[in-house]
A and B are shown apart, each in its own frame.
Chain A
Amino acid sequence: MTRAAIIVCWVMAIGLALFLIAPLLVIAAASFSPTPVFDLPLTGASTRWYGKIGRLDGFWPSLLLSLEIALFSTAISLVCGTLAAIAIARGKLPGANVFATALVSPLMMPGLVLGIALLQGFRAVGFTAPWATLLVAHLVITLPYVARTMISGLARFDFTLIEAARTLGCTYPGSVLRVMVPALAPSFLIAGIFSFLASFDNYPVSIFLADVRTKTLPIRMLQYIEEAPDPTLAALSTLILAGTVILLFVSDRVVGLHRMAGTSD
């Protein structure tokens, strides 16, 4: 590549990164606004909006609900998704590819369609308990992330390792635990994080299944915006953002972000 082309590429890359990050910086700045109406340039800094987060109407139950749903759906998806991925990568099932595509297909489906479909489906079979329907719906959301990550993780896994462990004195389950699980630990971590985040910030599916008493955090946040758009919401968003950044930073230390982005193994 010529020098000019490299410069153009760098300018494009930096521009795109700014475009992606700038709104996040604005919301972080807004959360420290001293006045209820956010205005640039800032005339000072205040953390009072952070103190108001906990007093938002229905905040704690919604946070708890979102955490519960995200943790449970991630845990169940990790187990089921890994088993399904083993079946696809290992078992010589006829139509394994079709099954793999079907498993990952909710990723490509608009959340809105998925939400309506699940609502209608659950109604049709008389399954209406809000907490349980939310959990099942979020399984549909999180399972593809786990399955996709584990299928590619297993594709690189040498199953001879399990045989080696068995000949060295391990039982079959013991070999899976002592060799396969540690060797796939990075994949588990990546799958878990993506699954957790996908569930935690899901709005379009949850909105169809929530009721007055069972509202996930994203639904609650949209409600706040409609009722009282002050910087409290910006403060909450900033906290969620900070939590995500810490999560990603820790996983980068452990396994490397390039693996999470899928750009290399």
Chain B
Amino acid sequence: MSEGSPHLVVGGVSKRYGPTTVLDHIDLTIRRGELVTLLGPSGCGKTTLLRAIAGLAQPDTGKVELAGRDITNVPPHKRNVGVVFQSYALFPHLTVAGNVAFGLKVRGMARREIDIAVERALSLVKLGHLAGRRISALSGGQQQRVALARAIAVEPDVLLFDEALSALDRKLREEMQVELRRLLQEVKATAIFVTHDQDEALTMSDRVAVMNKGRIEQLAEPRELYLRPASLFALNFVGLSTRISGTVLSADNGKVHVETKVGRLSALGSFQAGSPVIVAARPEQLRIGGGGETNSASGRVRSVVFQGSRTLVEVDAGAGESLLAELSGRDGAIPDVHDEIRLSWPVTETFAFPMEAQA
């Protein structure tokens, strides 16, 4: 199959557990070789969607196609998927090599071929020297790699990662994110990650699906997801932002003018006059000073947090509203706490979302 054509197609998949709708008509198409993350809070349905793809959860409606084959009613052992579980789920009675060989043995591969495949998979994850070890003698990071090698060894049509990095400590996790992405691109794997960690999602994926309440709120490349969030939920879940509530005064060609407690602001979007909305902007768009055709608001600096390459400044704009600006040292003066400052930001980088979406 050529690159770019649909490799995994999830069509109208729904799943209910009793009165709870866990998946609500999910549509998702993934190309061959693509790395996609399902990002969302716990209970958003991301793990259930992964399990539906793996065949471990049967959807109530909809279909799943993998590598041109309808696998909706195919049991997991015939799907040719590779899963890396959160707990790693390594077999304690087998050695490292035994774990990696498991799927190949089940497939009835010849012993010589198994040995070659195991060695190759273990060298990919740089664990060749530990082949004979018992699982209990490995560190968490090493176990993670064995789980990965075991899933890769069977050359699955899609690799599924269920919070696979969440058990590692922060530093190791960040290293693994970069290494895993490089490794998956090297073997040209198609992979789906499930995570609640936005950094992991932005680092690892070609596209991110933000999930909420059993639906995909936005499916976009990491950059687009950050710069053009499609919903208030997506805005909140990925990155920081300033959010101010207000009421739409008027609208003209793709822009709305909103009356807020900190003054009149303009934003991208189309709403009817009188609609309650939330106006939002990313912190790096805010600059000290006012001017021309920009949004601006003023207030007293509440806190200044130095974070190395950037400094986060929170401003109390009065009436319970606050502004969040990210200033880099090069822009000049960083204000002090209690300074009265004015911040401005471009209208083209200001979003408006319907108020009720927050509920």
A residues lining the B interface (CB < 8 Å): 158, 160-161, 163-172, 174, 178-179, 182-183, 185
Contacts and interface: CB of A to CB of B under 8 A. Distances in A.
Contacts of A179: 91
Consensus secondary structure, chain A interface: helix
Nearest to B80: A169
B129 interface: no
B153 to A, nearest CB: 9
A165 B56 contact: no
Contacts of A167: 54-56, 76-77, 79, 81-83
Among B54, B92, B103, B106, which residue has the most Cβ atoms of chain A within 10 A? B106
A246 B112 CA distance: 41
Contacts of B106: 165, 168-170, 174, 178
12 contacts: A160-B85, A160-B89, A163-B54, A163-B56, A164-B83, A164-B85, A167-B81, A167-B82, A168-B82, A169-B77, A169-B78, A169-B106
A168 B103 contact: yes
Interface in B29-69: 54-56
A166 B92 contact: no
Nearest to B51: A163
A182 B99 CA distance: 13
A169 B103 contact: yes
A180 to B, nearest CB: 10
A85 to B, nearest CB: 19
- What are the 3 closest A-B residue pairs judged by CB atoms, nearest first? A168-B103, A164-B89, A169-B106
Nearest to A161: B89
B235 interface: no
Nearest to B147: A164
A177 to B, nearest CB: 11
B93 interface: yes
B87 A163 contact: no
A8 to B, nearest CB: 37
B103 A158 contact: no
A170 B154 CA distance: 13
Nearest to A175: B77
Given A171-B75, A183-B92, A165 B87 contact: no
Nearest to B103: A168
Contacts of A182: 91, 93
Given A163-B85, A164-B83, A174-B106, A183 B77 contact: no
B102 interface: yes
Interface string B86-125: 0101111100000000110011000000000000000000
Contact of A163 (B82, B83, B91, B107): B83
Interface of B: 54-56, 75-79, 81-83, 85, 87, 89-93, 102-103, 106-107, 150, 154
A185 B93 contact: yes
A43 B224 CA distance: 97
A166 B56 contact: yes
Contacts of B154: 168-169
B14 to A, nearest CB: 22
B89 A163 contact: yes
B93 A169 contact: no
Nearest to A185: B93
Contacts of A164: 83, 85, 89-91
A169 B107 contact: yes
Among B77, B85, B92, B103, which residue has the most Cβ atoms of chain A within 10 A? B77
B77 A170 contact: yes
Contacts of A170: 77, 106
Given A167-B56, A182-B93, 20 more contacts: A161-B89, A165-B91, A165-B102, A165-B106, A166-B55, A166-B56, A167-B79, A167-B83, A168-B77, A168-B82, A169-B77, A169-B103, A169-B106, A170-B77, A174-B77, A178-B102, A178-B106, A182-B91, A183-B92, A185-B93
A106 B331 CA distance: 79
A213 to B, nearest CB: 46
Contact of A160 (B87, B103, B107): B87
A73 to B, nearest CB: 28
A172 B76 CA distance: 9
Nearest to A163: B56
B93 A166 contact: no
Contacts of A172: 75
A169 B85 CA distance: 16
Contacts of B89: 158, 160-161, 163-164
Among A163, A164, A166, A170, which residue has the most Cβ atoms of chain B within 10 A? A164
Contacts of B150: 168
Contacts of A171: 75, 77
Contacts of B85: 160, 163-164
A158 B55 CA distance: 19
A164 B99 CA distance: 11
A231 B87 CA distance: 59
A62 B162 CA distance: 58
A168 B102 contact: yes
Contact of B76 (A158, A166, A183): A166
B75 to A, nearest CB: 7
